[in-house]
Structure 1
Amino acid sequence: MTATRFPKLHDPASRGFASDNYSGAHPEVLEALAIANGGHQAAYGEDAYTARLERVMRELLGETAQTFPVFNGTGANVIALQAMVPRWGAVICASTAHINVDENGAPERIAGVKLLTVPSEDGKLTPELIDREAWGWGDVHRAQPLAVSLSQTTELGTRYSVDEIAAIVDHAHGLGMKVHLDGSRLANATAALDVPASSFTGDLGIDTLSFGGTKNGLVFGECVVAFDPESAGSLAYLRKTDLQLASKMRFVSAQFLAVLEDGLWLRSAAHANRMAARLRAAVEGLDGVVLTRETEANSVFAILPEGVADRLREHFAFYDWDAARREVRWVCSFDTTEADVDAFAGALAAELTR
């Protein structure tokens, strides 16, 4: 293979803070893909790598965990909810939840479940917030509230404590509802809490979990983990129905093995969290910068003066979060360096003094 046949179409030195989806793959993940590539292996999850991943996930999350690798996060969330909730059911979530804001209606269109949203200033649910929509059982005119979906970490960069999740699970189960955890950034939450991932998932009675990989160094791939046998029984069929069954699944599973077996997933996430803390410390004293959210994982949210964000985006990619009030979001990744953070903070300081 020559550089002429496969030219680089981007500048590898380009850095930004738009999303941890922007980063490349971790070198150890690419190495794992190359190793998994030799010879033939059975398709559709009947391979040695997927079998090993099942064992590794049980060691990580508990013996009741059943793991179903899929292509992407929206697919993971859709089939996890579909496995828990019938067509007449509804899922309570925060209004800022990814399933509500960023999945183009897929949970409702594909899974066929209604989302019942509640406002939350920090992106987190509480038993009291859940109770705003947890009513109407037996009323044929109302979609039946049968599940709750949490994000850990949340879309606003905040994280639940173990006790907070325990209270929600107990409350939801007491009302006859199941609980789904959207863990696209589960690694960042686990690293920040410094507790085993099982302590706030399977051990607490979470029914289904979307276990993120792409935002933490994988090329592609997420996993749906079912702790509830009833949900697990339908996931194999739903994964195929919802176009999430990989024929060459070994390449999804091998990536997860590369990050899980020696703790790389937590080291990478902890590094991203540290870079976000460094970024926050570098900008919080700058005149004109108003930090709007707690930095509890790998995201920083801030309001900037008029025009500053657009000028800064000429050199660094990042998104508006709430354009109406000039709030932006900066996300750090496993490959964000101290030099990246310092360069960005320096550029921001320069723009603020123009």
Structure 2
Amino acid sequence: MTGTQGEPRSGFVSDNNAPVHPDIMTALIAANEGHEPAYGADRHTARLREVIKTRFGERAEVYPVFNGSGANVIGLQAMCDRWSAVICPASAHVNLDEGGAPEKVAGLKLIAVPTADGKLTPELIEPYARGFGVQHHAQPKVVSLTQTTELGTRYTPGEIAAIAAFAHERGMLLHIDGARLANAAAALDLPPRAFTTDVGVDVLSLGGTKNGLMFGEAIVVLNPDAVRGVSYLRKSALQLASKMRYLSAQFVALLEGDLWLRNARHANAMAARLAAAVADVPGVEIPRPVQANAVFAVLPPAVIERLLRRYQFAVWDERVGEVRWMCSFDTTEAEVDAFAATVRDEMSAHAGVA
């Protein structure tokens, strides 16, 4: 995974940077044969509806969209009134990385809760679940989680069930941003419905792009009673694909068999391998548990600067020297070992200079 001459290798910057999985490309080519009805009336979308029910339950409904922000914004908007608020972690993608779209497009108030690990709990939510019936307050309507979180952590089914019960007891609903839901399922060794449908999640944004798709995410409505007008909102938010077969065919190829799980298991395994390879390097700190396909590390600024000349990765928090290394379905053991060796060498050189 090397760029042109002189460019740093890009294998650890994001699972968004990975190529399309060959099986997905094959599915796209197959879907390209002949004419199909537009706007979701095609046979591939019909098959996707069946597959989603096998994965998430008979009441599950699926709405393919172009991207994760679209899935999140439309899903939340369908769950809310114009005066509603959404409680989410401060680190949530909907809060930090969607250009204010939940506020600008959906008109929703986000209530961002500080967390240590990217995860909400009923205890953390409770101080913000207030003002019900008070006209001066945006009305809390949805709790939104990310699984796995933006900090690489994951929720157990019990943790999600507790949040769902807390929310439902107060007349609120539960949404999950599942951009990396497959990585959570692989790490938990559970089917996706075990920590979504079966524990009270109402709406799910189901990720595909980070797990081998060319493009496309999906809104999966697990509780149809929790939403209104998803089809109309998808159209008005510019997320209705005319040639939807290309979105749906990818998801069918990903979910019908075990490709989704194989891809996620491999990415998780490469992250675990990388964390283990650098854990004993003097001066390297792994500040967060490695529970999926992300590794967070704290390094000296000079080492980060030198590593960035050879590899691309995210500098997560410049103040403390925290970086993020992401692994993908196509990350190889050789790439992991070479990167870990480079980290070890750079740390050794830094210690010698110091």
Task: Note the 1:30-49 alignment, pairs <5 A.
Answer: 30-49=25-44
Correspondence for 1:299: 294
Cα deviation per residue 1:143-173 (whole Å; 9 max; x = unaligned)? 0011100000000000000000000001100
Cα deviation per residue 1:199-248 (whole Å; 9 max; x = unaligned)? 11111221110000000000000000012224454111110011110111
Going from structure 1 to structure 2, the CA distance change for 1:13 and 1:93 (only over 3 Å counts) comes to: closer
Q: Secondary structure at the match of 1:329?
A: strand
1:321 counterpart (316, 319, 325)? 316
Correspondence for 2:210: 215
Correspondence for 1:185: 180
1:198 counterpart (186, 193, 200)? 193
Task: Answer yes or no: is the 8 Å Cα contact 1:126–1:164 preserved in 2.
Answer: yes
Correspondence for 1:3: none
1:9 CA displacement: 8.0
Which residue identity is paired with 2:337? Answer: D
TM-score, normalised relative to structure 1: 0.96
Matched, 1:162 2:157: yes
Which residue identity is paired with 2:46? Answer: A
Cα deviation per residue 1:114-146 (whole Å; 9 max; x = unaligned)? 000111101000001110200001111110011
Which residue identity is paired with 1:247? Answer: S
Task: Answer yes or no: is the 8 Å Cα contact 1:118–1:132 preserved in 2.
Answer: no
Cα deviation per residue 1:39-65 (whole Å; 9 max; x = unaligned)? 000011110000000000000010110
Correspondence for 1:52: 47
Partners of 1:52 and 1:262 lie apart in 2 by: 13
Partners of 1:12 and 1:246 lie apart in 2 by: 35
Matched, 1:116 2:111: yes
Partners of 1:344 and 1:292 lie apart in 2 by: 19
Q: Which runs of 5+ in 2 are unaligned?
A: 350-354
Cα deviation per residue 1:259-308 (whole Å; 9 max; x = unaligned)? 11111000100000000000000001111111110000000001101211
1:135 counterpart (115, 130, 143)? 130
1:349 CA displacement: 1.1
1:343 counterpart (338, 341, 348)? 338
TM-score, normalised relative to structure 2: 0.96
Partners of 1:12 and 1:352 lie apart in 2 by: 22
Q: Secondary structure at the match of 1:291?
A: coil
More displaced, 27-36 or 13-22? Answer: 13-22
Which residue identity is paired with 1:285? Answer: D
Matched, 1:275 2:265: no
Matched, 1:289 2:284: yes
Matched, 1:148 2:138: no
Correspondence for 2:14: 19
Partners of 1:9 and 1:338 lie apart in 2 by: 22
Partners of 1:9 and 1:280 lie apart in 2 by: 28
Partners of 1:171 and 1:86 lie apart in 2 by: 20
Q: Secondary structure at the match of 2:155?
A: coil
Going from structure 1 to structure 2, the CA distance change for 1:145 and 1:246 (only over 3 Å counts) comes to: same
Going from structure 1 to structure 2, the CA distance change for 1:297 and 1:9 (only over 3 Å counts) comes to: same
Task: Answer yes or no: is the 8 Å Cα contact 1:36–1:250 preserved in 2.
Answer: yes
Partners of 1:14 and 1:216 lie apart in 2 by: 20
Partners of 1:351 and 1:13 lie apart in 2 by: 15
Task: Note the 1:233-252 alignment, pairs <5 A.
Answer: 233-252=228-247
1:15 CA displacement: 4.0
Correspondence for 2:71: 76
Which residue identity is paired with 2:222? Answer: F
Task: Answer yes or no: is the 8 Å Cα contact 1:192–1:297 preserved in 2.
Answer: yes
Going from structure 1 to structure 2, the CA distance change for 1:136 and 1:35 (only over 3 Å counts) comes to: same
1:196 CA displacement: 1.2
1:10 CA displacement: 9.3
Partners of 1:240 and 1:246 lie apart in 2 by: 9
What fraction of aligned residue pairs are identical, expressed as a percent? 57
Count of aligned pairs between the two proteins: 347
Going from structure 1 to structure 2, the CA distance change for 1:12 and 1:290 (only over 3 Å counts) comes to: closer
Task: Answer yes or no: is the 8 Å Cα contact 2:60–2:220 preserved in 1.
Answer: yes
Which residue identity is paired with 2:154? Answer: R
Partners of 2:200 and 2:228 lie apart in 1 by: 17
